[in-house]
Amino acid sequence: MKEQRLGVQVWGDGACDIGRAEEAVTGASDSTTLTVQGDAVKFKLGMKIQANATRTGSAVGLKTDVYQVSKVERMTSAGKAKVTFTRFSGAADDWAINDYLYNYGFYDSAMKGIQAWVPSATPSATTFFGMDRSDEPEMKAGWRGVWQGSIRETILHLVSVMGQYFSPQFSSVWVSPANWFRLSQELLSIGCLTFNDERSKEFGTKVITFAAPGGDVNVASDPFCPNTDAFLLRHGDIEIVTTGPLIHLANEDLEALRLSNSDGLEIRYRSLAQMVVPYPFHCGRAPIS
């Protein structure tokens, strides 16, 4: 669960949505397919889920009905991810088609991840950590590419417009597994599918490489990477800062909870963490249609 939660937050913008319902969820028990099949990785049995028609900025819009995940079918015969829910609390505020889904209590409460530091739209004058990014959007909020008809051409276009700010020895492009597959088929069809074995060992995932104006581009996949974009990141510029390791519990006078159905104890804690990208002009993103 730590890996799952961190994966969602690292790639997110702070909203912490983990999927979107294609059908309404009503009654004591119901199911829905997700708009993106790859979002199934974010759902586990027993999770308590909330819904909101507005993805971010409207906590008052949270549906009062809270459902618990009772079944996850990660790939149906129709190629969809299907999640079945059992109502946990509430009774008259059903989920609607296209509602966004959240871990219970996590609406708008995640750290500002990659999509906050490098947003899909040119930032407005609204401040971000006290900074107006609208006067130099690329320097302060990364680069935004344009769809060029294929994933390969889109990545090449992004790298070309970034120019000197692309560092091939320190940077890689990240895509979802589904888009990595699409890219591999594009390159295979023109006889240019090549892998970087050294980077593959470093990242623990197979890395595709191809030539670009500023040097070779390496493309890796991550199951939590959004399906909507390709992200070019310079890894050394990205860090997650925290208040330090978890405090020891022995002298904090905390009370443990006795689990009702087993001989065990439960202790809950929270952590404070925030992603920092001090040089966003070395990063960019481009939409994948």
DSSP-derived secondary structure for 106-141: -TT-S---HHHHS-SS---SS-BTTB--TTSHHHHH
Q: Which two tokens stand for residue 191?
A: 């006889």
Please classify residue 155 by burial: count the beta carbons closer than 10 Å to its beta carbon, then call 0-12 exposed, 13-18 middle and 19+ buried.
buried
Percentage with pLDDT > 90 across the chain: 79
Helix, strand, coil shares, percent, the chain, to 5: 25, 25, 50
Measured CA distances, 37 to 33, 70, 100, 131 (Å): 8, 18, 14, 36
Q: Please give the residue that has the higher pLDDT: either 213 or 281.
A: 281
Q: List pLDDT tens digits, range 256-287.
A: 666 666 677 666 666 678 999 999 999 999 99
> Considering only 26-30, 143-147, 159-163, 271-275, which range has the smallest mean pLDDT?
271-275
Distance CA 66, CA 52 (A): 11
Q: Which two tokens stand for residue 76?
A: 């149906």
Pairing of strands 143-144, 284-287: parallel
For 75-88, give one letter per residue: b (16+ CB within 10 A) or e: eeeeebbbbbbebe
DSSP string, 220-282: EE-TTS-TTEEEEEEGGG-EEEES-SPPPSTTTTPPPEEPTTSS-EE------EEEE-S-GGG
Per-residue model confidence (pLDDT) at position 243 = 75
Per-residue model confidence (pLDDT) at position 141 = 98
Distance of CA 178 to the CA centre of its chain: 14
The residues with which 197 forms a beta bridge, in sequence order, are none
Q: Please give the residue that has the higher pLDDT: either 152 or 249.
A: 152
Whether residue 1 contacts residue 24, with contact meaning beta carbons closer than 8 Å, is answered with: no
Q: What mean pLDDT comes out for the span 167-171?
A: 91
**pLDDT beyond 50 at 1:** no
Distance CA 82, CA 37 (A): 8
Mean pLDDT of the chain, nearest integer: 91
Q: List pLDDT tens digits, range 9-23.
A: 999 999 999 999 999
Measured CA distances, 152 to 161, 163, 175, 283 (Å): 14, 17, 12, 17
Q: List pLDDT tens digits, range 115-135.
A: 999 999 999 999 999 999 999
Q: What domains are there in the chain, each with its CATH number? A: 14-103 (2.40.30), 114-241+273-287 (no CATH)
Q: What mean pLDDT comes out for the span 197-210?
A: 93
Q: What mean pLDDT comes out for the span 28-35?
A: 96
Whether residue 209 contacts residue 219, with contact meaning beta carbons closer than 8 Å, is answered with: yes
Residue 253 binned pLDDT confidence (cut-offs 50, 70, 90):
low
Q: Please give the residue that has the higher pLDDT: either 235 or 183.
A: 183
**pLDDT beyond 50 at 140:** yes
Residue 240 binned pLDDT confidence (cut-offs 50, 70, 90):
confident
Whether residue 69 contacts residue 39, with contact meaning beta carbons closer than 8 Å, is answered with: no
Q: Which two tokens stand for residue 2?
A: 């730590």
Model confidence, pTM? 0.86
